[in-house]
Structure 1
Amino acid sequence: MSTPEISAPTAHIEIWSDIACPWCYIGKRRFAEALASFEERDRIEVTWRSYQLSPDTPVGRRVPEVEALAAMKGMPAAQVRQMFGQVSDTAAQVGISIDFDNVIAANTFDAHRLVHLAGDKGDEVLEALFRAHFVEGEVVDDRDVLVKVAGAAGLDPQWVRAALDGDDPAGEASGDAVAADLLAARKIGVQGVPFFVANRAVAVSGAQPTDVFLAFLRRAVDDVTVKL
């Protein structure tokens, strides 16, 4: 009688990020590059978690990001543009074209709800939300924009609108999921994003170079293997 084959354990990577965070967008691209080249990527499970850098941003305010950050930090707009220019240069290295003069500050709570509503298309929807916010100059706290993003990803636009408007039970559940992510971030001490956690044991913070993410993935897999 043959011995049943034991499948290799899966490492669970949780990534806290905010759609209004350019370094989260850059980090997502770098992490994806590392994961694509990781030999044991079939042993990696990724869950995106919600985070809000500016939860008090009024919905529908439609203020340019440069102006919003200058007011928040008490910095001259010229200094903010210089800082954003450096971010844009880094983003270009991973194929992202950001013009911060077109970026509109937004409350990201509903956008995070959409990622949860997307289920197994969450990664695709998150990428589309980043692109809408940073590249296309869309207002990602506008529900018309969120419904459009959802439809382009193959989700039912009518269902998504009903959920976001509170006319479908999934809507409340998605809000609860975002709140749970935010609470979990506080409990494990997340101070900034992007924040990557493997098996709730190993963490990496920031939009690290690809080789750092590869080492992180290697450790994540080794960690669950040792615990067998």
Structure 2
Amino acid sequence: MTAETSTTAKVRIHVWSDVICPWCFIGKRRLDTALRGFAHADEVEVRWHSFQLDPHHPQGVRQPVFEMLAEKTGAPPAQVRAMTRQVTELAAAEGLTYALDRAVAVNTRDAHRLTQLAARYGLDGPMHERLMRAHLVEGSLVDDPSTLVRLATEVGLDRDATTRVLSSDEYAADVAADIRAARRVGATGVPYFVINDQWGVSGAQPAETFASALRTAYTAAS
């Protein structure tokens, strides 16, 4: 594995996201759509940063997402299903088949440490997406070490290096630093996108919003 860095990027996008966030995967898909239609996409660099929606979720505790949402909102099961139905339908419009009835809420710290490892090799985007798909589409446990190793090797990370990181506290400081940086840029929720350190885009905005921001940033940098 070798690190991939861009020396020609005119547009740099920093994204704060959590791997268990259904809106984050939708936001990523919409950004991807904007990039596919952007004439200068080869001059755009995207970096993924850690953010935990619930950093206080106890490590090792696993709870069905519907049950967790019912506890947090005080809503009955039928209302929770109605709440998640909307985001599931919006995800489907972006080609994503959510299975939130099978998703399990966990502490995402180890998953984020894995993305930090992947960033060393220019694989933070693929790693973050694979983790989101595992949680939101496949119902996999993204705090399970064997699952995390499997997902990491699927995107090209070394199995032994991944196992070593997960059995240590490596990259925990990087995760914490990303979360502090999110506060500095004003990200109180995710997804949150910062373009060329000047423009902030909050939430899973329509693809055209991202396309307009890309054009503005590219013109300003040219």
TM range (shorter): over 0.9
Contact 1:34 1:214 in 2 (8 A): yes
In the alignment, structure 2 segments of 5+ residues that lack a partner are 1-6
User: What RMSD over aligned residues (CA atoms) do the two structures have, in Å?
Assistant: 1.4
Query: 2:188: which partner in 1?
Result: 191
SS class of match (1:203): strand
Contact 1:118 1:155 in 2 (8 A): yes
Structure 1 residue 126: Cα displacement: 1.1
Query: 1:23: which partner in 2?
Result: 23
Query: 2:177: which partner in 1?
Result: 180
Q: Which digits, 9 at most, give the CA deviation of each residue in 1:124-168, with x for residues without a partner?
A: 1111111100111111011111111011112111210111111xx
Q: Which digits, 9 at most, give the CA deviation of each residue in 1:96-141, with x for residues without a partner?
A: 1112110000111111111111121111111111110011111101
Distance in 1 between residues matched to 2:111 and 2:22, nearest whole Å: 15
Query: 1:140: which partner in 2?
Result: 142
Query: 1:103: which partner in 2?
Result: 103
The percent identity for this pair of structures is 45
Query: 1:56: which partner in 2?
Result: 56
Q: Which digits, 9 at most, give the CA deviation of each residue in 1:4-49, with x for residues without a partner?
A: xxx9761211011111110000000110111111001122111111
1:131 aligns with 2:139: no
Structure 1 residue 223: Cα displacement: 2.4
SS class of match (1:115): helix
**TM-score scaled by structure 1?**
0.90
Structure 1 residue 187: Cα displacement: 1.2
In the alignment, structure 1 segments of 5+ residues that lack a partner are 1-6
**Residues 68-83 of structure 1 aligned to structure 2 (within 5 Å):** 68-83=68-83
AA matched with 1:164: L
Distance in 1 between residues matched to 2:34 and 2:19, nearest whole Å: 21
Max Rg structure: 1
Distance in 1 between residues matched to 2:107 and 2:30, nearest whole Å: 25
Distance in 1 between residues matched to 2:104 and 2:111, nearest whole Å: 14
Query: 1:4: which partner in 2?
Result: none
Seen in structure 2, the aligned counterparts of structure 1 residues 61 and 11 have a Cα distance that, compared at 3 Å, is: same
Distance in 2 between residues matched to 1:110 and 1:57, nearest whole Å: 13
Which segment drifts farther, 90-99 or 73-82? 73-82
Contact 2:17 2:51 in 1 (8 A): yes
1:150 aligns with 2:147: no
Query: 1:3: which partner in 2?
Result: none
Contact 1:9 1:224 in 2 (8 A): no
1:90 aligns with 2:87: no
Quick check: which one's helix share is greater?
1
2:165 to 163, 168, 181: 163
AA matched with 1:217: L
**TM-score scaled by structure 2?**
0.92
Contact 2:9 2:43 in 1 (8 A): yes
1:201 aligns with 2:198: yes
SS class of match (1:98): coil
Distance in 2 between residues matched to 1:128 and 1:9, nearest whole Å: 24
The number of residue pairs the alignment matches comes to 214
Query: 1:122: which partner in 2?
Result: 124
